Amino acid sequence: MSEDPTVANREFDEEVLYGGLRDGTPVRLRTVRPGDRAGVLAFVRRLSIDSLELRFFSAVSLESAADEVLGSRPTGPERVSLVAETAGASSPEIIGHAEFVRSPVDEERAEAAFLIADAFQGRGAGTLLLRALARVARRRGIRRLEAVVLGENQCMLDMFTGAGYPHSTRWLGSEAHVEIDIDREPPIDARWGPNLTGAAST
Ligand SMILES: CC(C)(COP(=O)(O)OP(=O)(O)OC[C@H]1O[C@@H](n2cnc3c(N)ncnc32)[C@H](O)[C@@H]1OP(=O)(O)O)[C@@H](O)C(=O)NCCC(=O)NCCS
């Protein structure tokens, strides 16, 4: 992150979107802010070792997991980092994170990653963050998101299938390289539920 907060603020391009989990729990999805460190640390402290390893592919300290979530660069055209937090509560709690980093060689592609608090996994938060990330990425000219997923991570692979975007999977050893076509928003599976309910840019 830039040492000079005025530089960070100039580059800071905040997104705020809203949605609901599968059970209707309201969630706000917003750009990570420079002042989020305490909230992000509380989020990573509640994660299981399994979740951290599925996200970072190896054992990581909580400090470095928090650094990864906060990012070394502020949000801008090349990288967008979103948190999902409980909305409506007096003190919102960060329950998930997703980010994309644009490819240096193909401006229409970006690599994406997701991390959801254990207590919220399987409830639609990951799908909501994918939809939010796709919306934000499309506005920046990105047409394909790529994710590297450990083969054992069936939940992540199921999430990509369930979200409904056209996608393809290439296996490299024990890793799945999933390419998701985000050019168009797929129809919403109303029986399953999680969806963005509105959007605003500030
Ligand atoms: C993988 C991860 C990001 C998925 O997020 P999530 O919030 O749990 O995902 P969702 O609830 O949106 O969707 C996944 C689940 O919903 C189900 N689902 C998704 N779309 C569905 C649909 N249309 N109909 C029915 N079920 C659906 C999936 O089958 C999956 O169920 P399962 O958990 O029983 O396998 C999250 O579990 C996580 O953070 N895991 C640890 C870290 C990690 O693996 N990160 C990914 C590395 S990039």
Could you report the per-residue pLDDT of 7-52, keeping only the tens digit for each?
A: 333 345 688 999 999 999 999 999 998 889 999 999 999 999 999 9
- Look at residue 113 and tell me whether its pLDDT is greater than 90: yes
CA 191 to ligand 1: nearest atom: 24
pTM, 2 dp: 0.91
Distance 154 CA to ligand 1 centre (A): 8
159 Cα to the center of ligand 1, angstroms: 4
The predicted-structure confidence for 160-171, as pLDDT tens digits, reads as follows: 999 999 999 999
pLDDT number for residue 89 = 72
Which residue did the predictor score with more confidence, 148 or 91?
148
Predicted confidence (pLDDT) at residue 95 exceeds the cutoff of 80: yes
Instruction: List the domain boundaries for the chain.
Output: 5-142
Residue 191: predicted pLDDT: 84
Looking at the CA of residue 156, tell me the nearest atom of ligand 1.
Answer: 1
Instruction: Give the mean pLDDT of 116-141.
Output: 96
Q: Which CATH class is domain 5-142?
A: alpha beta
- Pocket-testing residue among 46, 156, 157, 165, ligand 1, by greatest number of atoms within 8 A of Cβ: 156
Model confidence over 45-75: pLDDT tens digits? 999 999 999 999 999 999 999 999 988 666 6
> What's the mean per-residue pLDDT of the chain?
89
Q: Which residues line ligand 1 (CB under 6 A)?
A: 51, 54-55, 113-116, 121-127, 147, 149, 153-156, 158-159, 162, 189, 192
Across residues 111-131, what is the average pLDDT? Answer: 97
∠142-143-148 over CA atoms, to 5°?
90
pLDDT value for 58: 92
d(CA 24, CA 1): 35
15-20 sheet: strands from edge to edge: 167-172, 175-181, 144-150, 109-116, 94-102, 79-86, 26-31, 15-20, 195-201
Confidence of residue 193 (pLDDT cuts 50, 70, 90): confident
**Mean pLDDT, range 170-190, rounded to an integer:** 94
Answer whether 156's CB lies under 8 Å from 149's CB. Answer: yes
Say what the pLDDT of residue 198 is: 61
Q: Is 145 exposed, middle or buried (0-12, 13-18, 19+ CB in 10 A)?
A: buried
123 CA from centroid of ligand 1 (Å)? 8
